[in-house]
Chain A
Amino acid sequence: MRLTWWKITAIVLLAYAVIGGLLLPVPELTQLGETIRNLYYHVCMWFAMMILFTVSIIQSIKYLRTGSIEHDIKAVSYAGVGTYLGLLGYATGAIWASFTWADPNNPAFASFGSIMREPKLIGAAIALLIYGAYFILRSSITDMDQRARVSAVYNIFAYAMLFPSIWIIPRLLPSLHPGQEGNPALNFNDIDARMRMVFYPAVIGWTLLGAWIATLKIRHKILMEKKWFTNEK
């Protein structure tokens, strides 16, 4: 295992995010209680997801410009890890929502319908559906170059459509989710200074971890390709 500087940074930041995130003082809000610490994990998942999707689309653009299959492998790997982080974001969000939003008189499943109507959740669902479709599109094309080209086109098209929707939908529907006007956690006034000390390092840490997993996947896939080609000869 090659430990380069950014991998060490990822380990240090994540150790800090886990230990500091659970132990450092947080503001006391009666509604949230200690669940406020979920900010370090739940919100970071979405940040990391969006960053990895952005890297994926950049790789897709690079593929269309150069035609080198390596960029396609990178695009699909980053999209894969991004989707995984998105699912984790849903999981952490579900835990949080069950403490704060869910109707205590209703079982969790019964309040699902009203929770799912949240604009932020719809945006996230659209993003995950898009990448689900992306993987299905890939698996339905057998020719390697054509698969790379067509999925790159869809990746770019879908991403370009995703951004207007993330911007539009919150302005059409009412919301309980923090950050009603625009995007949560980007606003400096949203977060307490003590929490910012953990939050920003945590975002960087989780993103780096995602990138780390993606690079491993990329190396694995490139090796598989090489093996395939040498067997052919």
Chain B
Amino acid sequence: MKRAAEIASTHNTITLEALNQFTALLKKEFLLETRQQHTLYGVMLYIASTVFVIYLTIDSPDADTWNSLFWITQLFICINAVAKSFLQEARGRMLYYYSITSPVVFILSKLSYNVLLMLAMNLVNLLLYTAFMGNPTESFLQFLFIGLLGSMGLGLVFTMLAAIASKAMQQASLMAILGFPLIIPQLLLLVRLSKTAFSEVFRDGVPQQLVLLLVSLDILIVFLAVILYPFLWKD
């Protein structure tokens, strides 16, 4: 009886320790971002110039075009924003992480940070799209929600791919090659789901089903990342 209590308490301390490590790692990411602001501003400038180029090349896109352009821009932003998360980690620093934390905590902190980053970038992107090309959505709130959901998924998939690509040469271009085939179903789901915000009529329950599918895909990705990352981690 006493033993069981002891085991339970050690379990508690282990989970507590993991949680502490997780918050410390997450805090470190934010600290790095505020210290090395050039990377963040770089991504924002990337968004601004992409949207500006699209604005100049297309006069006033109709709703469908606006929607698909938005998601393609979001995809490219994601590749650029997430790519740095593993590329900036030098070999020596990885060795240091190796000695202080576990791979599961490490990948979870990376996933959460990139999701937060993508959520913020989604807002910036949406703001610029609305400013330059108007907003053809009927229900802006719905589109905002779908955008946040989609950015989350994109961030998750590309974090895992950045982890894979960081082990190879020509990492940035490799990430796109590895990622595009995997992201197609999610993008199709998102473009389809976004049409609810453009007042396209769906059968009852279909949008909810699509949201459920996207969420379960996200859960699958986190699950796979937790299982597979420990193998990438050891060098």
Contacts and interface: CB of A to CB of B under 8 A. Distances in A.
Contacts of A126: 181-182, 184-185
Given A137-B164, A140-B170, A153-B164, A130 B232 contact: no
B231 interface: yes
A173 B185 CA distance: 11
Contacts of A146: 167, 235
Nearest to A65: B231
Interface in B160-217: 160, 164-165, 167-170, 174, 177-178, 180-182, 184-185, 188-189, 192, 213, 217
Interface residues of B, number: 28
A130 B179 CA distance: 9
Interface majority SS (helix, strand, loop, mixed), chain B: helix
- Give chain A's interface secondary structure class: helix
A153 B227 CA distance: 10
A152 B220 contact: no
A76 to B, nearest CB: 15
Contacts of B164: 137, 150, 153-154, 157
B79 to A, nearest CB: 14
3 smallest beta-carbon distances between A and B, as pairs? A165-B185, A129-B181, A140-B168
B232 to A, nearest CB: 6
Given A136-B174, A157-B228, A150 B167 contact: yes
Contacts of B232: 149-150, 153
15 contacts: A126-B181, A132-B177, A133-B177, A140-B170, A140-B174, A141-B168, A150-B168, A154-B164, A156-B228, A157-B164, A158-B178, A161-B157, A165-B185, A168-B188, A169-B188
Interface residues of A, number: 31
Interface of B: 157, 160, 164-165, 167-170, 174, 177-178, 180-182, 184-185, 188-189, 192, 213, 217, 220-221, 224, 228, 231-232, 235
Interface in A148-175: 149-150, 152-154, 156-158, 160-162, 164-165, 168-169, 172-173
Contact of B177 (A136, A149, A153): A136
A200 to B, nearest CB: 30
A164 B169 contact: no
Given A164-B213, A169-B185, 12 more contacts: A129-B180, A132-B177, A136-B174, A140-B169, A149-B232, A153-B164, A158-B178, A158-B181, A158-B182, A161-B185, A165-B184, A172-B192
Contact of B167 (A122, A141, A164): A141
Interface of A: 64, 122, 125-127, 129-130, 132-133, 136-137, 140-141, 146, 149-150, 152-154, 156-158, 160-162, 164-165, 168-169, 172-173
B82 to A, nearest CB: 15
A230 B232 CA distance: 30
Nearest to B184: A126
B33 to A, nearest CB: 27
Contacts of A141: 167-169
A154 B163 CA distance: 10
Contact of A133 (B170, B178, B188): B178
A136 B180 CA distance: 14
B182 A149 contact: no
A128 to B, nearest CB: 8
B149 to A, nearest CB: 15
Nearest to A128: B181
Nearest to A134: B178
Contacts of B231: 64, 149, 152-153
A130 B180 CA distance: 9
Nearest to A126: B181
B228 A153 contact: yes
Contact of B168 (A137, A160, A162, A164): A137
B182 to A, nearest CB: 5
A154 B229 CA distance: 10
Nearest to A141: B168
Nearest to A149: B231
